[in-house]
Amino acid sequence: MKNESIKVFQKKKKQILETWMKLQLADESLREDLMSNEELRGQSEELISILVDNLNDSNIDDPRHSDFDSVVDILSGISISRARQGFSPRETGTFVFSLKDALLNTMQQELKDPQELFLQSLKISKLIDSFGVTTFETFIKGREEVILRQTDEIAEISTPVIRVWDGILALPIIGTLDSARTQVVMENLLQEIVESGSSIAILDISGVPAVDSLVAQHLIKTVSATRLMGAECIISGIRPEIAQTVVHLGIDLTNIITKFTLASALRTAFNMLHLQVVKKQKQTIAD
């Protein structure tokens, strides 16, 4: 027996699309600012025809059937692009679930036998619900990708190495230092030391909110690695609170040159390089 509802869907594709569009446009959460109605219509039409063309008796109970791969692909594409465009999960979910309403609506008009209508409705509901879940999964994946990209960007931005003087580098650290961040800091710093041939690096930690034993360990590692390369490392921006916690935690920083401000670290660096900053004699202009 050929499934009645599938026949109905194939015959009434146009009508389903119209109902679906009406439902979507009527919804309060419609985002005309993010997507034009024509674009929405295009997406909807594509999805319906792919779904109806691939639906048959044997796969209607199995949303994971390979026949639906193309449907899932389209849904994934739509929800990933929506995640990136900044749609909310509800807005994306509504897109799929209003299709269910449209399908059920059409079935209600076409199928006369209540028993049959109930059975078919259940099947369609299950199928679309499963597609809805898929949409959410890919939506979250899309968002995660955005987050990962931003994390990478933040890591890049937050570790700039500045050449403050010939042979002196400065690296202001802002935010917490974890092991992943320390590795990025070390890599950037050491690479820049090689490229610029600098012999002194100043690590300024004024922007690090707190120094615990783990952060201190990361700092010590960075200093050790810099020394192995043959450069010296000065840590500046140590606030009184940090000095206090460091001592209370019993962390030994005596092998590291530490300074209160970046300016005093720079002065130390000048000294190490036998440089002197001299105030210029004021020139008197004769009139």
Partner 1 sequence: MEKIPILRMGKFLLVTIQVDLYDRLAEALEADLVQMVKKTGAQGVLIDISAVSIIDSFMGRIIGNIATMSKILDAETVVVGMQPAVAITLVELGLPLKGVHSSLNVERGMELLRTKINLSEGQSDDDGYAE
Residues in contact with partner 1 by the rule CB under 8 A: 183, 186-187, 190-191, 193-194, 197, 199, 221, 224-231
Nearer to partner 1, 192 or 204 (CB): 192
Strands 162-165 and 168-174: antiparallel
- Nearest approach, Cβ of 287 to partner 1 (angstroms)? 48
Exposure b/e, 55-79, CB count within 10 A at least 16 = b = beeeebeebebeebeebbeebbebb
- Nearest approach, Cβ of 162 to partner 1 (angstroms)? 18
| CA-wise closest residue to 266 among 229, 237, 244, 226 | 237
Token pair listed for 226: 């810099």
Strand partners, 170: 162, 202
Nearer to partner 1, 193 or 265 (CB): 193
Token pair listed for 115: 């028993």
- Nearest approach, Cβ of 191 to partner 1 (angstroms)? 5
Token pair listed for 243: 């000095």
Nearer to partner 1, 213 or 224 (CB): 224
Q: Do 266 and 164 form a contact (C-beta atoms < 8 A)?
A: yes
Nearer to partner 1, 151 or 191 (CB): 191
- Nearest approach, Cβ of 235 to partner 1 (angstroms)? 16
Nearer to partner 1, 124 or 169 (CB): 169
Q: How far apart are CA 13 and CA 163, in angstroms?
A: 66
